[in-house]
Structure 1
């Protein structure tokens, strides 16, 4: 390079630098990459608990201030089947999940029908799913009473989705129902009957011979036929 040209270029660069210091040069914008928050998704894979053969999948997706739920079952008997949330594991099923006290006389509204103005009888009382003659059924709803993480009073992660042999009336306070045997406890003060769920393999208590026909709907939903744990996948 020509020496005089070199010095000319050097002087020009120096002048530009001085001008930038004095007046400020436009900075090259820095690109900031942001990621949109991803909605959480959880699933429960339903398997049979008593040899019924029922299978299915439940999907739970965060949407705004609630959870959208889609429950699909296959190989189930036609009719209504009650669904509840329990604690424990499918190998050792615990009691119904009811983190908040349920006042006596609470209307028997399951989660699937509940609104903020008419809350459910218990956040673990899901509702009934209707199964057609081909053994399949689908139930979809959105609820503000559940979350995937966070508040322990609404967090359904790690809970069990239980499916029963019949539909549930959802008329009995769940704190007083769903114990070990299907028995009728008469409260002599109020003359109210509190029915209880029985576990598979334990015969119902009865004072007379009963028919083997299972009623289409009963308090508690009868025996448990399917179970799946709600697990976060996203």
Structure 2
């Protein structure tokens, strides 16, 4: 997957470079939710899990939901670039009780990193020339910070994992303050395929790690600022 992503980034940049007309840097905050998803697999020691989790996004709790991207716009108003989003997913209290855990969360980021292709339409609104609609999509990887503590275990899973492929979709509207600065609002979704490893209890000799899988779909309304040069 890492080799694939590097190749994708290189292809996007080489394609964009010859006709690059503008570079745009964007930062945003927003409100983000996570759809329910089925978590299946085994916990450390072999206990099976197959349950629909009612995930919580908690975008306004620290660490906050945020994101940023860099886009190289060509003369044809097609853009190529990179985007990273710090989303979050917390298992509900009911889910924690059901699997015997005190925490199960991707809370220091369900981090989504994608190589994007975007399209914009300057002047699309005849009487509102400062407004520019745009859409985009991206393909990349999910690198969440996994935080899992099982009841009765002396161990804790706490660290970043490359859990699988991710997809991003964007639709938004930008308002140009001047030729450099703009503000924008957009809808964005991310989908990711996550294979999560849960560390074994270090006090139990020979215990195997757990491994669970789930697809996560997030939805967000973002507001942000862009700078072009």
TM-score, length of structure 2 as denominator length:
0.29
Greater strand content: 2
